[in-house]
Amino acid sequence: MRIIDKRAMADLMTTLWNCWNNRNNYIFRGQEEEAQQIWERASNLNKEFRICNMLKEPLLSNNIVEKKWKKPPKGFIKINFDATVGENRIGYGTIIRDEEGFVLGGGGGFKEFRLSVEEAECMGFEESINVARRLKLKEHVLFETDHVGLFNKLNNLDNDATVIGVRIKECKAAFNFFKST
C-alpha cells in the first residue's frame, strides 16, 4: 500500500471540495462547470495556499486563546450576559452563578426587531439585572460581559448623552439594589 504525502493529500481534498461545491451549485443554482474548470480552480487554490504558507509571518496567529469561565471571588455572585444580533432579530441570555460555579438562575429570549450590537448587549445587561432582581439577590454581585464597548461606556458615562448612554446609566443606577458590582 502506498502512503500519500501531505501535498498530494491537500491537492486531493481541495479537488474533492471543489467537486462537492460544483455539485451544490448544480443542484441549488442550476450552474454546472466543466471538469477542467474544477481542476484549475482547485490547483489555483492550492498554489495560493502554498504561497501564503511561505510568508515569514502567518496571516492567522498560531496562538490559540482559550477563554474559560472563572469563578467569582468568595462571597460574590457572578452574572454573565451576552447578546447576538441577526437580520431582524436579537437574542440575549444571562446566567447567574455563585462562588462555587453553581447555577442560581438565568434567562434569555429573542426580540423581533433590528438593533445594533451595542443596543442588544445593553438589552442583555438590562435583562440580567431584571433576572437578579427577580431572584432577590442582595449579595455582592459582579457583572461580566465580553462586549468591550459596553464596558468602556459603563466606566466613562460622565459626558455620554446618547440614548445608549442613558440606558447604561439606568443600569448603573440599578447597582444600588446590590451590595457591590
Judge whether 62 lies within some domain.
Answer: no
Residue 58: inside a domain, yes or no? Answer: no
Domain total in the chain: 2
- pLDDT, tens digit, for every residue of 128-180? 888 888 888 877 888 888 877 777 777 776 676 777 777 777 877 777 777 65
Assess whether 81 and 170 both reside in one domain: yes
Q: Are residues 83 and 168 in the same domain?
A: yes
Domain enclosing residue 37, as ranges: 6-53
CATH code assigned at 138: 3.30.420.10
pLDDT at 136 (0 to 100): 86
CA separation for the pair 74, 175 (Å, rounded)? 19
Model pLDDT, residue 80: 92
Q: Tell me what pLDDT residue 114 has.
A: 85
State whether 148 and 88 are in the same domain: yes
Residue 98 lies in a domain: yes
Whole-angstrom Cα distance, residue 138 to residue 101? 18
Global pTM reads 0.58
Look at the alpha carbons of 30, 33, 34, 35 in this order and tell me if their dihedral is positive or negative: negative
Q: Can you give the length of the chain in residues?
A: 181
